[in-house]
Amino acid sequence: MAADRRWSGRSLRQISGIFLALLAAAACAIPALGAEPISPGLLLAERYRGDIDVSRYWVSEKLDGVRASWDGKALRFRSGNPVPAPAWFLDALPRQPLDGELWLGRGTFDQLSAIVRHQSPDDAEWRRVRYMIFELPNASGSFTDRVEQIKAITTAANLPWLQAVPQFRLPDAAALQKRLRDIVRSGGEGLMLHRDDAVYEAGRSSTLLKVTPWLDAEANVVAHLPGKGKYAGVVGALRMELPDGRRFSLGSGLTDALRRNPPPVGTLVTYRYRELTHNGMPRFPRYLRVRDKL
Catalytic residue numbers read: 62
CA 243 and chain centroid, separation:
18
Q: Which residues pair with 82 in a beta bridge?
A: 76
Rounded to whole angstroms, how far apart are CA atoms 57 and 59? 6
Rounded to whole angstroms, how far apart are CA atoms 58 and 195? 6
CB 195 within 8 A of CB 140: no
CB 240 within 8 A of CB 271: yes
Rounded to whole angstroms, how far apart are CA atoms 208 and 198? 9
Residue type, 90: L
Residue type, 285: P
66 CB-contact burial (10 Å; exposed 0-12 / middle 13-18 / buried 19+): buried
Range list of β-strands (E), 72-127: 75-77, 98-103
- Residue 293 is classified by DSSP as -
Q: Which residues pair with 275 in a beta bridge?
A: 283
Assign 38 to helix, strand or coil: coil
Measuring CA to CA, which residue among 188, 234, 216 is closest to residue 287? 216
